[in-house]
């Protein structure tokens, strides 16, 4: 009666069961997994944002498959601020970055085809691919003091049914940016690149070896994805985009096919499109506050874990930090004991397909006092390991 693609595992895992136990006994968890910027105590220009959404032009329906010209121009201008040159005619608006992924998979893959994706990486990719009838083939990110793409392992991961390669820069959760040499290696595969760049506005250091965007290469078709969710910290306004780059013939064919896909959904709401130029301006102070918080929280994490058995892995950007814990316990035991005995919630490494254990992931978006308290409990648990 139901499709296989909708048959996701629904049994609660050990971490979910530990959270249920904590809530059942009325425990107040210290949540170090915070990913919702609107619930993280970050300042917003609320009145300015609300006023922008009241534009009377939103009362008129304009069924533009790629989005209205005003909004596409605003995205192109915003990308230019980050040094990324793209024509508004090559900007396709979507209802979210997740929808942009779905359209990219529909554009590039037939059911049963595969795409290369990094590991570790965010588990949402698996759900989005499965719903589009696409298989994921992982290529590993290697850690040797910093994360990087191993070109040989990438080439080995490719098979005849692989139709595209996904990049996430900076990666979630490793926080590693794609470097120029890595982008060249990836482009040598000759595959279209789907590049998730939602966290690119949040670097924690400077590195001239990084690329600004996968659009820096014109050797293959590139679909660079982002949206309001992370760069502007406005996930509730539901607007994403893909910027299309590469050889002209490939770009034009991609846009022609995407127009039919987009026209079949017409998913982007008019108010957010008309408000987009003002929303970009209104969100600058919020993005700056997030940059300040994640930088300060990385310092808190480094200081509190110094001299302990936990090792923070090198992070270049984004909202998360990865900690390697001692092998005195399994990863599951570390995470569930933190919940059961310390009232602290972290994400396990297996959630992101880390190749071994134990690793945990914490959010640098967390309120600084909460982060310090949670890390304090982790330090106590480490002392008794």
Cβ atoms within 10 Å of 24's Cβ, excluding its own: 8
The dihedrals phi and psi of 91, each to the nearest 5 degrees, come to: -105, 130
Q: Which is more confidently placed, 8 or 163? A: 163
Averaged pLDDT for residues 296-313: 96
Nearest CA among 308, 359, 305, 372 for reference residue 331: 359
Per domain, the residue ranges of the chain are 4-43+285-383, 60-282
Q: Can you tell me the mean pLDDT for 74-85?
A: 96
Q: CB neighbours of 193 closer than 8 A, spacing ≥ 6?
A: 164, 165, 166, 167, 186, 187, 214, 217, 220, 221, 222, 223
Q: Using CB atoms within 10 A of its CB, is residue 215 exposed (0-12), middle (13-18) or buried (19+)?
A: buried
Strand duo 320-324 + 359-363: pairing: antiparallel
Q: Cβ(313)–Cβ(323) under 8 Å?
A: yes
pLDDT of residue 63: 95
Residue 385: pLDDT over 80 = no
Q: What percent of the chain has pLDDT over 90?
A: 96
pLDDT beyond 80 at 357: yes
Instruction: State the CATH class of domain 4-43+285-383.
Output: alpha beta
What's the pLDDT tens digit per position in 118-162?
A: 999 999 999 999 999 999 999 999 999 999 999 999 999 999 999
Distance of alpha carbon 173 from alpha carbon 364, whole angstroms: 11
pLDDT computed for residue 360 by the predictor: 98
**Domain 60-282, what fold?**
3.40.640
Supply the pLDDT for residue 121. 95
Residue holding tokens 């330090």? 379
């Amino acid at each position: 009666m139901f499709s296989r693609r909708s048959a996701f595992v629904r049994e609660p895992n050990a971490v979910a069961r530990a959270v249920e136990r904590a809530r059942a006994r009325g425990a107040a968890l210290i949540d170090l997994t915070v990913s919702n910027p609107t619930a993280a105590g970050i300042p917003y220009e609320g009145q300015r944002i609300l006023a922008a959404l009241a534009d009377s032009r939103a009362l008129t329906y304009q069924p533009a498959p790629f989005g209205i010209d005003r909004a596409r121009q605003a995205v192109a201008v915003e990308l230019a601020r980050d040094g990324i040159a793209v024509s508004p005619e090559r900007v396709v608006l979507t209802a979210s970055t997740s929808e942009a992924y779905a359209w990219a998979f529909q554009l590039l893959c037939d059911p049963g085809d595969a795409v290369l994706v990094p590991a570790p990486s965010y588990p949402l990719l698996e759900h989005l691919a499965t719903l589009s009838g696409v298989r994921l083939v992982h290529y590993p990110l290697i850690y040797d003091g910093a994360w990087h793409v191993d070109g040989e392992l990438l080439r080995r991961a490719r098979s005849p049914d692989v139709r595209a390669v996904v990049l996430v820069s900076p990666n979630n959760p490793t926080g590693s940016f794609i470097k120029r040499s890595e982008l060249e290696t990836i482009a040598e595969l000759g595959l279209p690149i789907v590049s998730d760049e939602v966290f690119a506005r949040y670097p924690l250091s400077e590195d001239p070896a990084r690329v600004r965007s996968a659009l820096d290469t014109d050797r293959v078709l590139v679909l660079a994805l982002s949206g309001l969710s992370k760069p502007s910290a406005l996930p509730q306004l539901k607007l994403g985009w893909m910027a299309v780059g590469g050889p002209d013939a490939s770009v034009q064919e991609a846009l022609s096919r995407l127009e039919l896909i987009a026209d079949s959904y017409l998913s982007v709401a008019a108010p957010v499109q008309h408000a987009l130029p003002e929303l970009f301006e209104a969100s600058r102070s919020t993005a700056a506050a997030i940059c300040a918080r994640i930088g300060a929280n990385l310092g808190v994490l480094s200081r509190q874990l110094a001299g302990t058995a936990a090792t923070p892995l090198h992070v270049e950007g984004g909202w998360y930090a990865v900690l390697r814990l001692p092998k005195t316990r399994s990863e599951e035991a570390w995470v569930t004991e933190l919940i059961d005995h310390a009232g602290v919630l972290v994400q396990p490494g297996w959630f992101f397909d880390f190749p071994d254990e134990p690793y945990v992931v914490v959010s640098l978006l967390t309120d600084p006092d909460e982060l310090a308290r949670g890390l304090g409990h982790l330090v106590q648990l480490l002392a008794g390991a």
